[in-house]
Chains A and B, each alone.
Chain A
Amino acid sequence: MSIDIQGLVRQFGDVQVLRGIDLSIPRGELLALLGASGSGKTTLLRILAGLDWPNAGSIHVDGQDWLALDAQRRRAGFVFQHYALFPHLTVADNVAFGLTVLPRRIRPPAAEIARKVSALLELVQMGEYGRRFPSQLSGGQRQRVALARALAIDPEVLLLDEPFGALDAAIRKDLRSWLRTLHRKLGTTTIFVTHDQDEAFEIADRIVVFGQGRIEQAGTPDDLYERPASPFVARFLGGVNEIAAELRQGRFRVAGADAAGLERQVGGDGDVTLFVRPHEIDLAPGPDGEAVIEAVVPGSVSMRYAVRLPGQDVPVDVEIPREIARGRQLAAGARVRVRLLRGRIFGQAARNTTLAEQSLAASAL
C-alpha cells in the first residue's frame, strides 16, 4: 500500500493551513511530520483519517481515491494525543470496539474477537489489564491501549497525533523505542505528528519538515541535518549560527575567523549568510586571536562557548567535546583563534526569509 498526496490545500476562513502538499509515502514506511504548532501537520493527518476535508488536491491509496471514502471505510487507525479512550468501556471492550461495530454478516464471532483482543493486549504489553477501566490506567498505559484499539481493525495506515506529547519525559523515551520495535514487527505504514525534533529523529525512517502549511524538506534524519534544503530547516533543527561572511572567487571570508577550510563555492561574489552548527567550529587559545570568549556553559558531554567575533551582531555558539576542551585554556575573557570547519549557504534565500519564519523557528527551539 502506498499513499500518494497531490496538491492538497486546506483553508479555514481566510487562513491557509495547507498550501499545496505533495507527498508520496511507500508501503511500510515510518514517517514523521515535524513542525511547529500551526504548521499544518495535524491538519494533514486529520485529512488522511477522513476527519477533515481539503479544499483542493487528491489522496490516492494504491490507486484508490481516498477522498471519495468517508472515515468509516478508510480503515485508518487514528490515535489522539489524549488517547480518547471510551471511559464507560473496559480496556478489552475499548480494543474490541472496531470489531463489534462491524455489520453482522462480516463480524467475527465473539470468541474470535476475544482472542484477537487478548493477542493485541499482549502485543502492547497490557495483557493483564483487560478488565480495568481507562480511568484506572496511567498515561503511558492508556496510550498503548489506544494503539491496540487502532490496530484491531487491521489498519491500512496508522496515524498518530503527537502520540507521546502528554507523557512524562522518561516514559516518552521508553515508548519511542517501543514504537520503533512494534513497527518493525508489524510493518504497518505509520505516520506520526510531532513537534519534538529528537522524537522524529529517533523513531522515523523519514522526516517531513513542515513550515507554514508547506513541506520545507522531506528526507532521512541524515539528509535533514547534513543537507538542509533551506534556512528554515537549518534553523528548525536547532542551534545553528548565522554568520555574516563575504564570498570572493569561491572562497569565504569571515572577519576574525579562519574560513580557509570551507568548501569552495561556484556562486558569484558578495555578502552572504553562512550557516554553521556549533560543533563545526574549533577554538584555540592565542593572544593574537581576534575573538573573545564571553561565556562558558559546561555540559555533560561537551562544553559550550559564546564567542564574540568582530563584525558579528550576536556572539557565536561553539561546542567542543570535553575531552578536547580539557587540554586547552578556554576560560571566559580569553582571546581565541576561531576556525570554521564546515558551513553552508542558501543563495539569495539566505537573506530573503521572512521575519515570521525566523520567529517560528525560534519558538520551536
Chain B
Amino acid sequence: MTMPAAVSRPGPSGRLAARLLIGLAVVLTIGFIVVPVAVIFAQAFARGFGPYLASVTERDTLRAIGLTVLVAIIAVPVNVLFGLAAAWAITKFEFPGKKFLLTAIELPFSISPIVAGVAYILVYGSNGLLGPFLEANDLRIMFALPGIVLVTMFVTSPFVVRELVPLMQVQGSDQEEVAATLGASGLQIFWRVTLPNIRWALFYGVVLCTARAIGEFGAVSVVSGHVRGETNTLPLQVELLYHDYNAAGAFAAASTLTLIALATLALRAVIEQRLPRTGRVGH
C-alpha cells in the first residue's frame, strides 16, 4: 500500500526547513509577544512594589479602573441577553430577513471602532441628529457614562451571538420539541434544556465580550471627552499618563490591563477544552 504524498516522511532537506520554520516562529513569538509583555511588567515594577502600588492606587487611575469595571458590568449582561435572544431567534425560527440579521450582527466587526464612535457623536452629540431633543430634556449622552456604555455595547455586540449560533444550529430543535411535548413551558425549556446545552459556549462568549469591553480604546476615545477622573476608562488613562511622561504610572495601569488579558487567555484555554467540537469560526 502506498502512502499519500502529503503524509510521507520528510527527507533531510524537509527536516531542515521544518527546523527553520519552528525557529522563526519562536523568534517572532518572543519578539512580538513575550518581550513587550515582559517590558510592561518590568517597567511597572522598575522602582519596586511600593511605587507600583502608589501608581495603581493613584486617584485618577482608581477612578478609571472603577469606570471601566462599571461599563463592563452594564455592557456585558446586556450583550448576553441580546446574544441569547438573537441566537435563539436565528436558530430556532424561520422568518424573512434572517440572512440580513446574521450579516448585520457581524457589522461591528467590520467597522473601525473610531467610525462607530464618530457615528454615535453624529446621532447623540449636541450638534447631532438627536442633539436638540436631548439638550431640551437635559439628557447628556456624549462625553458621559451613557455614551461610553453605548459604544462599548456596539463594539462588543457580536461576541456572544457568534459563539452561540453555530453551536445551536448543530444542535437543532429536537430536544426543545421533546421538552414541549413533555409539558415544559417556554421558560422551563430555556432554563432546563437550551441553557445547559450552550452554557460553555455562552461563557466563552462572555469572556471574550468582557475582555473587549475592558480593553476597547478607539470608539470610547471618541465619545468619552477625556475628562480626568470622570470619563477616562483604563485604556484612555494609560494613554493619558504616557503622554504626561508618567512612564511608571502608564506602565502600572497597563499592567492591570495586561493581567486581565492574561486571565482571559487562561479562562479561554480552560473553556475551549469543554466546548464540543463544532464548526466554530475563529476570530
Contacts and interface: CB of A to CB of B under 8 A. Distances in A.
Interface string B102-123: 0000000000000000000000
Contact of A101 (B174, B177, B184): B184
Contacts of A101: 179, 182-185, 188, 192
A71 B177 CA distance: 9
Interface residues of A, number: 28
A263 to B, nearest CB: 49
Nearest to B193: A86
Contact of A149 (B177, B182, B188): B182
Interface majority SS on B: helix, strand, loop or mixed? helix
A76 B182 CA distance: 8
Given A86-B175, A101-B192, A71 B181 contact: yes
Contacts of B180: 50-51, 70-72
A50 B181 contact: yes
Interface in A73-121: 73-78, 80, 82, 84-88, 97-98, 101-102
B175 A97 contact: no
A120 to B, nearest CB: 13
A51 B177 contact: yes
Contacts of B196: 86, 88
Contacts of A74: 181
A75 B183 CA distance: 7
B184 A80 contact: no
Contacts of B24: none
A106 to B, nearest CB: 11
Contacts of A325: none
B181 A76 contact: yes
B182 A153 contact: yes
**Residue from A49, A86, A146, A149 having most chain B Cβ neighbours under 10 A:** A86
A99 B183 CA distance: 8
Name which of B182, B193, B197 has the most chain A CB atoms within 10 A of its CB. Answer: B182
B178 interface: yes
Interface in A51-78: 51, 70-78
Interface core residue of B181, B183, B193 (most chain A CB under 10 Å):
B181
Contacts of A82: 174
Contacts of A87: 197
Contact of B178 (A70, A75, A80): A80
Contact of A72 (B174, B184, B192): B184
Interface in A35-56: 49-51
Contacts of B177: 49, 51, 71, 78, 80, 84
A49 B181 contact: yes
A2 B181 CA distance: 19
Contacts of B188: 101
Contact of B185 (A50, A72, A153): A72
Interface in B151-187: 174-175, 177-185
Contacts of A71: 177, 180-181
Contacts of A78: 177-178, 181
Contact of B174 (A77, A80, A149): A80
A216 to B, nearest CB: 28
Interface in A122-152: 146, 149-150, 152
Nearest to A87: B197
Given A101-B188, A101-B192, A84 B174 contact: yes
Question: Which of B174, B180, B183, B184 has its CB near the most chain A CB atoms (within 10 A)?
Answer: B183
A188 to B, nearest CB: 14
Interface string B72-93: 0000000000000000000000
Contacts of B178: 78, 80, 84, 146, 149
Contacts of B174: 80, 82, 84
A97 B188 CA distance: 11
Contact of B182 (A51, A80, A97): A97
Contacts of A97: 179, 182, 184, 192
Interface string B183-204: 1110010001100110000000
Contacts of B185: 72, 101
Nearest to B189: A101
A216 B75 CA distance: 59
Nearest to B182: A98
A6 to B, nearest CB: 23
Contact of A84 (B175, B183, B184, B192): B175
Nearest to B276: A87
Contacts of A88: 196-197
B51 to A, nearest CB: 50
A78 B180 CA distance: 10
A82 B184 CA distance: 20
A130 B203 CA distance: 29
Contacts of A73: 183
A72 B188 CA distance: 11
Contact of B181 (A77, A85, A86, A102): A77
A40 to B, nearest CB: 18
A306 B117 CA distance: 79
Contacts of A51: 177, 180-181
A98 B181 CA distance: 9
Given A77-B182, A101-B185, 15 more contacts: A51-B177, A71-B177, A75-B183, A78-B181, A80-B178, A82-B174, A84-B175, A84-B177, A84-B178, A86-B175, A86-B196, A88-B197, A97-B192, A146-B178, A153-B183
6 contacts: A49-B177, A72-B184, A75-B183, A84-B177, A101-B192, A149-B182
Interface of A: 49-51, 70-78, 80, 82, 84-88, 97-98, 101-102, 146, 149-150, 152-153
Interface of B: 174-175, 177-185, 188, 192-193, 196-197
The 6 closest A-B pairs by CB, nearest first: A98-B182, A84-B174, A88-B196, A71-B180, A78-B181, A101-B184
